[in-house]
Amino acid sequence: MATDVKKLVSEMTLEEKASLCGGDDFWHTKAVERLGIPRFMMSDGPHGLRKQDEEGDHLGVNDSIVAVCFPAACATASSFDTEMIGKMGEAIGDECQAENLSIVLGPAVNIKRSPLCGRNFEYFSEDPYLAGKMAAAYINGVQSKNVGTSIKHFALNNQEYFRMSNDSVASERTIREIYFPAFETAVKESQPWTVMCSYNRINGTYASDNEWLLSKVLRDDWGYEGFVMTDWGAVNDRVQGIRAGLELEMPGNTAANDKKIVEAVKNGELDEKLVDRAAERILRIVYKYYDNKVEGVKFDRDADHEKAVAIAAECGVLLENNGVLPLDASKKIVYIGEYAEAPRYQGGGSSHINSSKVTSALESAKAKGRNIEYVKGFPAQKDEPLDKAELDKAIAAAKGADVVVIFAGLPDVIESEGYDRANMNMPAAQNELIEAVAKVNENTVVVLHNGSPVETPWADDVAAILEMYLGGQGVGEATDQLLYGEKNPSGHLAETFPMRVQDNPSYLNFNSDPEIWNYAEGVYGG
């Protein structure tokens, strides 16, 4: 039987209602023990669970439970497959039920305004229609398991640099035609249980205070039924937030702001009916979870790993092929680049998963008896000058091979939540090695592991380019399947790859400060 939320709220004191509007700790809402109201737990997402019981953080610093890392949105969007991402959502929903999680924080649907945004790997596309359809399918998949989602970051949050204070200035037509549609489609087609407001200002008003955004557009225009929560630490004016339609402040330690809500009601600045409204909206979702809780669900990490492999194989994009692919397993093939044995398969920050297993392309090839020689070439996780000895090894191996496959991409130090990219370049060492190898072997294939577009100055000199994006923990197996023709690379780019960053329309206006790397060390948020 469904819980009578209105009756519960009528029995609560003002202080209890205000307390419901703030988190209990980093991941939980508050309980009201006197009335038997439970707290519930949420977890970072959206391409896997980052459940943390203690020492919570929102930048992936502390460990979380062992979970399955599915491909990031930059990859899944390239599949253009709503049925596939719906199945991925179902798997994540089951994982949430097994771990007693009520809400998974995702999907992230902000438009890719510039290729330099450090968090582009977590967003679907520059195309509002595609982003909305993929988000809706994912949400429907998760929520079919009686677990909620939190679509984010609402709205116009398209850069990491000063994301907690920058002002996104745009006309209403621009906002409604470009920046809103992904949210609108998801709200109308899937009704996410929660919406997460962004840090930034929109035409001068913080998203958390913005009544036009949170009430007029979200609820009146689109018919939204769930509750609105903050990004972690995104509250500006708590009382105005209640007026605007912001229900839940996260994370915990909200006693001071809870008190402000109570005082505002008592001194006549805030109508208590608005606090009742907020409490009701929160409790409807609390009991939507608890009244439909599914017991006995198991988190089968091995089975979900296989799902992650299958999904990654659907996301690969063959950018170029001059007849060298699929590879002939009988030929002598050299793998170059540390990503071959240690792939970059996920982004940094709040979506960083403590993965249950990671399979590399090199490991997968060896398991199948491929005729592979491996040369490290360059490090996977650093941006440092090319070692001449390694370059010499790579060139020597390439000269004696039928085909060379170079595994390249972007390390976390270049792209991650918390800071934007300074340019569209891959590490210079990688470009140098690719160009040198291509000169001695015309059958050079480049496999890319990156979360956003990169410049490819060597594109005309190589025989094939396979874009695997950040393909999750099964990306190595999926890459092997695509390279050797066991599966066809059927993905399509969901974003433009400019020849150079200056060709992107936002180039003259996108703020990517040269001091960005110092800024990255101190940023905090979700």
Q: Which residues are catalytic?
A: 231
Q: How far apart (Å, rounded) are the C-alpha atoms in residues 224 and 242? A: 16
Q: Which of 22, 32, 28 is nearest to 40 (CA)?
A: 28
Q: Is 9 helix (H, G, I), strand (E, B) or coil?
A: helix
Measured distance CA(124)–CA(73) in Å, rounded: 5
Element (H, E) at 272: helix 272-290
CA 406 to chain centre: 26
How many Å is the maximal CA-CA distance in the chain?
Answer: 82
**Angle, in degrees to the nearest 10, between helices 272-290 and 255-266:** 140
CA 194 to chain CA centroid, Å, is 16
317 in Cβ contact with 488 (< 8 Å): no
Q: What is the DSSP letter of 299?
A: -
For 181, residues 6+ apart whose C-beta sits below 8 A from its C-beta are 128, 129, 131, 132
Provide the 10 A C-beta neighbour count for residue 381: 11
The phi and psi torsions of 249 (rounded to 5 degrees) equal -100, 130
Q: Would you say 413 and 451 are in contact if contact means Cβ atoms under 8 Å apart?
A: no
Token pair 């040369």 is found at 375
Q: At what angle do helices 82-98 and 301-315 cross, to 10 degrees?
A: 160
Number of H helices, E strands in the chain: 17, 16
Per DSSP (E only), the strands in 212-257 are 227-230
Is residue 306 within 8 Å of residue 278, measured between CB atoms? no
Reference 224, options 285, 167, 176; nearest CA is 285
Q: How far apart are CA 180 and CA 188, in angstroms?
A: 12
94's enclosing H/E stretch is: helix 82-98
CA–CA dist 108, 231 (Å, integer): 12
Distance CA 198, CA 181 (A): 16
Peptide bond into 153 cis (omega under 30): yes
Give CA–CA dist 350/45, Å, rounded.
8
CA dihedral 463, 469, 473, 477 (to 10 degrees): -20
What is the rounded CA–CA span in Å between residue 478 and residue 472? Answer: 10
Total number of residues shown for the chain: 526
